[in-house]
């Protein structure tokens, strides 16, 4: 798709008025009036504080907000930098809003940002969610510096998470990306990230024809495409990530369907890359990563356990089409355990995820249904994980997660075999 | 008197014997035609299936997305379906020939009627096929949604959805071939209406509070339940 068709005339005019930039920060919005002003303030302060010599622009693609988000952004006055900073901006700061069809979800916003980055010749681009409540100006520095000063092409975030927070990332997405792509990125679907202008152009070139899953899985695609393209990848510590209620309320089945499904699709389009790789490599990490024993997130483990048991019981005919007989037998066996003795082993979980990925690839059934069938099993895994780590400290939990990641790596040949239909 | 009685007894027996002598060979011929038809149909089915597998028919359909449609509806591969259809076509043809061989005028007339109905029957089969696809798809969707919503009796709910869709498909199919024309339509309307009324009453009486909460959440912006659910499921991303 050409840039001309991605950008409206009005938007191009606004960008032309801005001229060439060094840094571009994209904030895609859709009804985020309550939080977006503060996010823009933090970004602007961060740009002035750390990059007051660089030419910067904030791009805001909006998906058709009807809660006054656009008005809030347009009406946002630049903060009085003297009250928060020793320095003042040396260049004019631009905030440019454009519209993308909300129908295309993340993909529409992403395309607009990438096209703008290409048009303005940005050297470093960052994406930031509009609903982050914990953002500070330091996030801008943490995301942009590795690209602008250290010549990295892709910066993934690392968040400071509370215990039992981000369980899908920890139990499935991170280990899967690590084992399949051989890259130890902690947050492969993090919504705050940065990339170089060179990589932005690569994303634009690779983007065509991916509408269907980019709609909700753009972040998984960005991360994996950067890895597969052989770009220099690193990660940067941002601190705690607190989001507004609306996004946090994304339910489990939707989360698995959107993000898990997107990652499975990425594996499909990158098949030739990951099937030929072995082991995994660590990636450089910027920033000081603190390990703190924060209060755990409240999770109703008993309810999850009960939903796992009933799910396995009710979905027998569905799971038979997805899992191999031995894995299904293993799942059924653990579902018979008592709550206090419950344990969903790492090996069984890794094989389960791999068989779901392979069955998704082979389209053994409607893909949305397949991903919905994963939710009850994930509940079982999470229930077991919480039970085992109820009183564990942060280092102990990290040790157990590392054991899980190694298990994923150990069973990678099984994934490849399932993928090419040699198992089942 | 004795002769008369004997004649009255023997005559019917002779008539039965003559009828049987006429019918039995025909019945035998019909049975043989049925059996030969089954064997021929089976042989053709096996050969056709193997031939299609060898020629890669499944892959051809896979490339066009049909295989995915069938697997998603829990149906066998295209080669399997085609070979089974051919089997039934051949066997039914033999059966028609066999029934015709009986020489019963009424049956022959019925067969002629059946042949004239064939286009409608094909349409009805298509309706049933797509009805079956839809029933499988939506019943599985209902099952998964109910399981993930922690709703009571998900399987029952799924069976109900399947039954409803199949009932609709069968009704349309029977309507197509004009079998029990009015009766089927009326029966369907009554049973469908009864089910819906029953559900509405059950939901209204048993789920008043749930209904009120849903309506409040939808129209009054009450989000208390969403917050509670979040706490129970935790944060996954």
SS3 sequence of chain B: CHHHHHHHHHHHHHHHHHHHHHHHHHHHHHHHHHHHHHHHHHHHHHHHHHHHHHHCHHHHHHHCCHHHHHHHCCCCCHHHHHHHHHHHHHHHHHHHHHHHHCCCHHHHHHHHHHHHCHHHHHHHHHHHHHHHHHHHHHHHHHHHHHHHCCCCCHHHHHHHHHHHHHHHHHHHHHHHCCCCHHHHHHHHHHHHHHHHHHHHHHHHHHCHHHHHHHHHHHHCCCCHHHHHHHHHHCCCC
pLDDT band for A246, please (50, 70, 90 cuts): low
Q: What would the pLDDT profile of A132-168 be if each residue is shown by its tens digit?
A: 888 999 999 999 999 999 999 999 999 988 888 889 9
Q: What would the pLDDT profile of A298-311 be if each residue is shown by its tens digit?
A: 778 888 999 999 99
Residue A372 has pLDDT above 80, yes or no: yes
Q: How far is CA A177 from CA A224, A264, A280, A402, B28, in A?
A: 8, 10, 10, 14, 69
pLDDT value of residue A272 = 93
Residue B80 has pLDDT above 50, yes or no: yes
- Give how far A302 is from chain B: nearest CA, Å: 9
Residue B220 has pLDDT above 80, yes or no: no
B63 and chain A in contact, CB less than 8 A:
no
pLDDT value of residue B223 = 44
B217 and chain A in contact, CB less than 8 A:
no
pLDDT band for A353, please (50, 70, 90 cuts): very high
Residue B190 has pLDDT above 90, yes or no: no
Read off the pLDDT of each residue in A175-197 and give the average, rounded to a whole number: 94
Residue A82 has pLDDT above 60, yes or no: no
B220 and chain A in contact, CB less than 8 A:
no
Report the helix count and the strand count for chain B, using DSSP H and E.
10, 0
* C-alpha triplet A385, A391, A392: angle, nearest 5°: 70
Q: Is A258 within 8 Å of A216 (Cβ atoms)?
A: yes
The whole-model pTM stands at 0.79
Read off the pLDDT of each residue in B82-94 and give the average, rounded to a whole number: 89
Higher per-residue confidence, A373 vs A3 = A373
Read off the pLDDT of each residue in A13-26 and give the average, rounded to a whole number: 90
pLDDT value of residue B20 = 82
pLDDT value of residue A249 = 53
For an interface test with A, the pick among B148, B155, B225, B229 (most A C-beta atoms closer than 10 Å) comes out as: B148
pLDDT value of residue B113 = 79
Residue A368: partners with Cβ closer than 8 Å, 6 or more residues away? A257, A261
B227 and chain A in contact, CB less than 8 A:
yes
Bridge partners of A29, per DSSP, are A62
What whole-number distance in Å separates Cα of residue A206 and Cα of residue A131? 28
B152 and chain A in contact, CB less than 8 A:
no
Closest in A297, A306, A318 to B234, CB measured? A297
Higher per-residue confidence, A181 vs A251 = A181
Read off the pLDDT of each residue in A7-29 and give the average, rounded to a whole number: 88
B147 and chain A in contact, CB less than 8 A:
yes
B75 and chain A in contact, CB less than 8 A:
no
Burial class (CB in 10 A: 0-12, 13-18, 19+), A288: exposed
Cα of first residue to Cα of last residue in chain A, in angstroms, is 41
pLDDT band for B189, please (50, 70, 90 cuts): confident
pLDDT value of residue A423 = 47
Which chain A residues are Cβ-neighbours of B71 within 8 angstroms?
Answer: 363-365
What whole-number distance in Å separates Cα of residue B119 and Cα of residue A226? 57
Which chain B residues are Cβ-neighbours of A297 within 8 angstroms?
Answer: 234-235
pLDDT value of residue A106 = 73
**% of chain B at pLDDT higher than 70:** 82
- Give how far A93 is from chain B: nearest CA, Å: 33
A253 and chain B in contact, CB less than 8 A:
yes
pLDDT band for A417, please (50, 70, 90 cuts): very high
Residue A216 has pLDDT above 80, yes or no: no
Residue A313 has pLDDT above 80, yes or no: yes
Which chain A residues are Cβ-neighbours of B150 within 8 angstroms?
Answer: 303, 306-307, 310
pLDDT band for A86, please (50, 70, 90 cuts): low
- Give how far B81 is from chain A: nearest CA, Å: 17
Higher per-residue confidence, B1 vs B217 = B1
Please give the domain boundaries of chain A with CATH numbers for all domains.
Answer: 3-286 (3.90.550.10), 301-419 (no CATH)
B11 and chain A in contact, CB less than 8 A:
no
Contact call for A166 and B147, based on CB within 8 A: no
Residue A383 has pLDDT above 90, yes or no: yes
- Give how far B148 is from chain A: nearest CA, Å: 7
Residue A90: partners with Cβ closer than 8 Å, 6 or more residues away? A52, A53
For an interface test with A, the pick among B144, B152, B226 (most A C-beta atoms closer than 10 Å) comes out as: B144
Contact call for A165 and B234, based on CB within 8 A: yes
Q: How far is CA A184 from the centre of its chain?
A: 14
A252 and chain B in contact, CB less than 8 A:
yes
What whole-number distance in Å separates Cα of residue B167 and Cα of residue B155? 18
Q: Which of these ranges, A128-142, A385-399, B208-222, has the smallest mean pLDDT? A: B208-222
A311 and chain B in contact, CB less than 8 A:
yes
Q: Which of these ranges, A218-222, A231-235, A323-327, B68-72, has the smallest mean pLDDT? A: B68-72
Q: What would the pLDDT profile of B143-154 be if each residue is shown by its tens digit?
A: 999 999 988 889
Residue A351 has pLDDT above 90, yes or no: yes
Higher per-residue confidence, A274 vs A82 = A274
**% of chain A at pLDDT higher than 70:** 88
**% of chain B at pLDDT higher than 90:** 17
pLDDT band for A357, please (50, 70, 90 cuts): very high
């Amino acid at each position: 798709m050409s840039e001309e068709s991605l950008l409206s005339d009005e938007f191009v005019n606004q960008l032309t008025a801005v001229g060439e930039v060094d840094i571009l920060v994209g904030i895609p919005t859709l009804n985020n009036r309550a939080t977006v002003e503060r996010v823009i303030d933090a970004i602007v302060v961060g740009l002035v504080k750390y990059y007051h010599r660089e030419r910067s622009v904030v791009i805001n693609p909006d998906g058709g907000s009807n809660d006054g988000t656009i008005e809030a952004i347009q009406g946002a006055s630049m903060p009085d930098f003297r009250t928060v900073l020793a320095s003042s901006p040396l260049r004019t700061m631009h905030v440019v809003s454009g519209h993308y069809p909300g129908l295309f979800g993340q993909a529409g916003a992403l395309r607009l940002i990438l096209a703008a980055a290409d048009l303005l010749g940005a050297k470093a681009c960052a994406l930031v969610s509009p609903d982050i409540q914990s953002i500070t100006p330091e996030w801008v520095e943490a995301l942009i510096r590795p690209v602008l000063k250290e010549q990295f092409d892709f910066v993934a975030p690392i968040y400071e998470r509370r215990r039992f927070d981000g369980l899908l990332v920890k139990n499935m997405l991170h280990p899967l990306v690590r084992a399949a792509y051989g890259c130890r990125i902690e947050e492969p679907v993090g919504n705050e990230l940065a990339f170089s202008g060179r990589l932005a152009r690569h994303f634009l070139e690779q983007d065509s024809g991916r509408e269907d899953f980019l709609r909700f899985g753009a972040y998984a695609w960005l991360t994996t495409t950067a890895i597969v393209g052989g770009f220099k990848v690193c990660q940067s510590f941002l601190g705690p990530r607190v989001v507004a209620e609306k996004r946090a309320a994304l339910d489990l089945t939707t989360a698995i369907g959107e993000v898990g499904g997107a990652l499975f699709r990425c594996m499909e389009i990158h098949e030739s890359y990951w099937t030929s790789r072995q082991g995994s490599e660590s990636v450089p990490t910027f920033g000081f990563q603190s390990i703190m024993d924060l209060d755990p997130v409240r999770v109703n483990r008993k309810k999850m356990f009960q939903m796992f048991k009933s799910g396995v019981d009710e979905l027998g005919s569905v799971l038979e089409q997805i899992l191999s007989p031995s894995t299904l037998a293993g799942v059924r066996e653990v579902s018979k355990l008592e709550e206090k003795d419950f344990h969903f082993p790492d090996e069984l979980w890794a094989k389960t995820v791999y068989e779901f990925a392979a069955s998704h690839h082979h389209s053994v059934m409607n893909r949305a249904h397949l991903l919905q069938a994963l939710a009850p099993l994930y509940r079982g895994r999470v229930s077991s994980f919480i039970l085992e780590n109820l009183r564990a400290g942060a280092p102990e939990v990290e040790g157990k997660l590392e054991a899980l990641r190694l298990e994923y790596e150990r069973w990678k040949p099984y994934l490849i075999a399932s993928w090419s239909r040699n198992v089942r | 008197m004795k002769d008369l009685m004997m004649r009255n007894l023997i005559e019917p027996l002779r008539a039965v014997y003559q009828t049987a002598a006429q019918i039995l060979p025909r019945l035998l011929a019909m049975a043989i035609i049925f059996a030969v038809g089954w064997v021929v149909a089976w042989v053709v089915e096996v050969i056709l299936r193997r031939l299609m597998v060898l020629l890669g028919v499944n892959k051809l359909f896979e490339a066009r997305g049909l295989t995915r449609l069938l697997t998603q509806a829990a149906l066998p591969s295209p080669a399997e379906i085609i070979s089974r259809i051919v089997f039934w076509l051949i066997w039914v043809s033999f059966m028609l020939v066999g029934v015709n061989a009986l020489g019963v005028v009424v049956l022959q007339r019925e067969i002629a009627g059946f042949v004239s109905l064939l286009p409608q029957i094909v349409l009805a089969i298509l309706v049933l096929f797509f009805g079956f696809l839809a029933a499988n798809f939506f019943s599985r969707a209902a099952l998964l949604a109910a399981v993930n919503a922690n709703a009571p009796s998900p399987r029952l709910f799924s069976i109900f959805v399947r039954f409803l869709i199949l009932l609709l498909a069968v009704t349309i199919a029977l309507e197509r071939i004009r079998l029990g024309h009015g009766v089927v339509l009326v029966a369907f309307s009554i049973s469908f209406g009864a089910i819906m009324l029953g559900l509405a009453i059950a939901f209204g009486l048993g789920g008043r509070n749930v209904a009120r909460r849903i309506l409040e959440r939808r129209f009054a912006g009450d989000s208390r339940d969403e917050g509670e659910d979040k706490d129970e499921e935790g944060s996954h991303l």
